[in-house]
Amino acid sequence: MEDIEIKKEEQINEGWRFLVEVNSEGNKIEYLVVLDKEYWEKLTDGRYTPKELIVRSFKFLLERESKESILKKFNLLEINRYFPEYESEIKK
């Protein structure tokens, strides 16, 4: 099982940038993820924090692909392009 850790969170113009580390059995990969405030509001209605959304999103991705297959740098809204069920699953 992979361990998902937010290593760094910073506020940017209209949202946040996160440095996320996924570790499984000592094999670590880092990702740079941007989350737009408007997209966060759309997906969560404020029910959970931006950081929680990032962790939930990585859990979603890891259920569908290996950590090596995840883009190393992306905007969270890109997930829906590859996995059309993402938004409806995350809103549950």
pLDDT tens-digit readout, 64-85: 999 999 999 999 999 999 999 9
Distance linking the first and last C-alpha atoms of the chain: 23
Give the closest residue to 29 by CA, choosing from 76, 78, 73, 82: 73
Q: Residue ranges of the domains in the chain?
A: 3-91
Please report the pLDDT score of residue 46 as a whole number: 87
Calculate the average pLDDT of the chain: 94
